Structure 1
């Protein structure tokens, strides 16, 4: 039987070694190689000569003979799995897996650090450093728990594909921030929305403007989303309006779709004639300005009272006394010892009772310009800690280390023991106690309109009652014009009350009050007890004429009759208490399509009242992210970090692969993913 490598040519009447013919260019010293490759083999009688068989001589004894090398070459040629094309593809696929794994680690590190408001960079990020910064240390920690990851990150990664540079960190952060904004934009859809704008300085004293959007999503749920943080060169109303409009237009949101605007109460934003409120009303006449009720009530009652010089001096003295008594850890320890001694003394004489959770140690609370209850809290803490504070101040004025310390303690002690300071302290506790209780109630009920106007009216009633009681008391006690009582009654108490009543009437304007009172007719509490068809129709005709066509306005009354009959008897709609619950229930039960006019009106009304929780959270987040050690942070980096920190629940919905694909398409990258 002839070997498989032997091929016969009928034309030449000769046999050839196909493998050697294809791969051998020279005989390489084998005498039979030329016969089987060029001349052709014809001596058939020599094939049965035993060890001298010409076939055996051609094959050769050495494994490295020309024929054996040709056989190996042919095997490699026909082995497709070893083809260079497949080898390159296999290597490329493996490299892609390594790149994606490496980038996935960087994405997870960015998310983790951002969610915790931690810094990324380190002071020394060299491999020899003991602390390379939070980001690199996080990557190192993740690699220590995964051998596969450890082989492809940090020093084991290629020079041009580590994905740990500061530029890559910011790029990943920006990609996720843009995805969050896109998600919010899709949530809004074609719905009407409201804007809430507030301003504050960051750690580097740069003026930042936070923009929050409030809307009702496609599921009928109220959403209040942080949308953007913008650095503004000045706080003029025209500048703020331009920045807000630029942000909205960048994401395809129309100013004409705004149905409510809320600001921080400053004059350059809430100004009736030249403020930001007025500028937006020129573009959209039905963009009503309604600030947070709790915030507005606090501004009215606290800020108005400080218009009185004596009250302003009182708060300045209060701050001074707290600073002197608690300006160091040593003084704070002395205050705590005095408080303990006071508690022990009161327990011994039976003034207070012991029990679990009672008689806890406390400290002075400082007043703040933006914290609503801080003034009331500071006053209460001063009343509760009056005696221990006097003990500490007496000790400081005796044993103070310098004349300045002793002098300040002496002034603070005299102020604290003065009759006027003590009287104003209790007067302001009485007045601001009303403010604090109502502000808390308004914050808890700010998701709906029910009781909001009643609470404001009740505040006016209480303030007016204080004024009337004072007048009756003065009538009973006819005093001379120049007395101490006359001074405190007329020049202090009456002026403070009158200033607050004036401010309440100014901030809660008649148009806003009417809008909210009419809106209250759709509240479903007590089986739609407040439901009033005439008020609802008046609300649509007067305040929302552009959102309803002429035919809708004509048929609205009939729709409302049918709506009331339907919801009162519906088991899923007759036990609700707020309009937000009603809006969501209409969508859940499928009644939103049936009562589409009512659903549209409810969605508009739900943008009217708003808490400032998101605004407060945004600026609290800014203080967490842009700290003293990170005061050179860029505006874009700060805004992106705040977006991820505040809207964590949205970021959690994004897959890592989608972020990688976005990272891949963002630039023409040489590395494959």
Structure 2
């Protein structure tokens, strides 16, 4: 099919040239091939979740990977007879490791496009640490730069697992950077042992910028603590949020009350007589 790619090796003829990379490139095809178009439109454009939480045979939704495969096999008898339950048990190509390989390829393509967009221009590296639902400590990395059209862009490029959030650990996880933007925590901006200080010891051309959003947050917190009325207000708001969000029933009840209040306010506004 020209540069469109594809062949019958995997469904009828068999494939025995695993050591020849060119065979895979031929199978994938050119830039306009079905493989590359599917990769661009199916995942990168829509941001769909690639894998599901329950991929068992009896699951109603086995994840995008298997569900798409199930849809494709319905269009071809050869594919149907050689995939999923009809394939050899050790050759179904649906293991988590195999499913992650295309995801890793997509990630590399996204990073490559970001690097090409930055080119030789300067960029900033935004770093912060957080923990996931499994209580694993990780470091989020974002690139901030100006593209060729003059627009400021921020692109999330990944999460790096770290054993702790000490400045030395974070420093070892960062290699080559040109600008730093952290919050004001001591492990970040510390003059002697902070992440900023450790990096400046090796890269004296870098400079540190205290995150403006974090600065604003600190100012707001400081102002509210000086004003009893405002401080009490936010304290009560925090208590209400904690109480309501701790129960699904209370949350639903509050939403229904809020909806009725909004409808009543709209009716009052509509019935208000016009001046004059």
Rounded to whole Å, the distance in 2 between the matches of 1:207 and 1:262 is: 20
Cα distance change, pair 204–119 in 1 and its aligned pair in 2 (3 A): farther
Work out which of the residue numbers 293, 309, 313 in structure 1 matches 2:232.
Answer: 313
Aligned residue in 1 for 2:201: 282
Rounded to whole Å, the distance in 1 between the matches of 2:94 and 2:227 is: 58
Rounded to whole Å, the distance in 1 between the matches of 2:265 and 2:188 is: 48
Aligned residue in 1 for 2:251: 328
Work out which of the residue numbers 200, 213, 217 in structure 2 matches 1:299.
Answer: 217
Aligned residue for 2:130, secondary structure, equals strand
Aligned residue in 2 for 1:341: 264
Cα distance change, pair 223–331 in 1 and its aligned pair in 2 (3 A): closer
Superposed CA deviations along residues 162-185 of structure 1, whole A, max 9, x for unmatched, are 322222112232233234445544
Aligned residue in 2 for 1:120: 51
Report the CA distance between 1:274 and its aligned residue.
3.3
Matched, 1:136 2:66: yes
Cα distance change, pair 319–108 in 1 and its aligned pair in 2 (3 A): same
User: Are the counterparts in 2 of residues 211 and 244 from structure 1 also a CA contact under 8 Å?
Assistant: no
Aligned residue for 1:268, secondary structure, equals helix
TM-score when normalising by structure 2: 0.67
Matched, 1:209 2:139: yes
Aligned residue for 2:173, secondary structure, equals helix
Q: What RMSD in Å do the two structures reach over aligned CA positions?
A: 4.1
Matched, 1:195 2:125: yes
Cα distance change, pair 330–193 in 1 and its aligned pair in 2 (3 A): closer
Aligned residue for 1:277, secondary structure, equals helix
User: Are the counterparts in 2 of residues 232 and 239 from structure 1 also a CA contact under 8 Å?
Assistant: yes
User: Are the counterparts in 1 of residues 50 and 103 from structure 2 also a CA contact under 8 Å?
Assistant: no
Rounded to whole Å, the distance in 2 between the matches of 1:202 and 1:130 is: 26
Cα distance change, pair 172–315 in 1 and its aligned pair in 2 (3 A): same
After TM superposition, the structure 1 = structure 2 runs for residues 89-108 of structure 1, keeping only pairs within 5 Å, are 94-96=13-15
User: Are the counterparts in 2 of residues 109 and 138 from structure 1 also a CA contact under 8 Å?
Assistant: no
Report the CA distance between 1:113 and its aligned residue.
6.2
Report the CA distance between 1:273 and its aligned residue.
4.1
Instruction: State the structure with bigger RCO (CA 8 A, min sep 6), 1 or 2.
Output: 1
Cα distance change, pair 334–185 in 1 and its aligned pair in 2 (3 A): closer
User: Are the counterparts in 2 of residues 110 and 169 from structure 1 also a CA contact under 8 Å?
Assistant: no
Aligned residue for 1:213, secondary structure, equals strand
Aligned residue in 2 for 1:172: 102
* Larger helix share, 1 or 2: 1
User: Are the counterparts in 2 of residues 261 and 287 from structure 1 also a CA contact under 8 Å?
Assistant: yes
Report the CA distance between 1:280 and its aligned residue.
1.8
Rounded to whole Å, the distance in 1 between the matches of 2:127 and 2:117 is: 20
Query: Computing the radius of gyration over CA atoms, which structure comes out larger, 1 or 2?
Result: 1
Rounded to whole Å, the distance in 2 between the matches of 1:276 and 1:185 is: 25
Aligned residue for 2:169, secondary structure, equals helix
Report the CA distance between 1:159 and its aligned residue.
4.7
Structure 1 gap segments, 5+ residues each = 1-89, 246-253, 354-673
Superposed CA deviations along residues 232-276 of structure 1, whole A, max 9, x for unmatched, are 22211111111112xxxxxxxx45xx1x21123433213344321
After TM superposition, the structure 1 = structure 2 runs for residues 115-514 of structure 1, keeping only pairs within 5 Å, are 115-118=46-49, 120-121=51-52, 123=54, 125-126=56-57, 129=58, 131=60, 133-134=62-63, 135-147=65-77, 149-185=79-115, 188=118, 190-215=120-145, 224-245=154-175, 254-255=176-177, 258=178, 260-293=179-212, 295-296=213-214, 298-308=216-226, 310=228, 311-321=230-240, 327-345=250-268, 347-348=270-271, 350=273
Aligned residue for 2:129, secondary structure, equals strand
Report the CA distance between 1:112 and its aligned residue.
4.0
After TM superposition, the structure 1 = structure 2 runs for residues 626-645 of structure 1, keeping only pairs within 5 Å, are none
User: How many aligned positions are there?
Assistant: 245
Rounded to whole Å, the distance in 1 between the matches of 2:94 and 2:269 is: 62
Structure 2 gap segments, 5+ residues each = 1-7, 17-23, 29-33
After TM superposition, the structure 1 = structure 2 runs for residues 459-608 of structure 1, keeping only pairs within 5 Å, are none
* Larger strand share, 1 or 2: 2
User: Are the counterparts in 1 of residues 52 and 62 from structure 2 also a CA contact under 8 Å?
Assistant: yes
Aligned residue for 1:328, secondary structure, equals helix
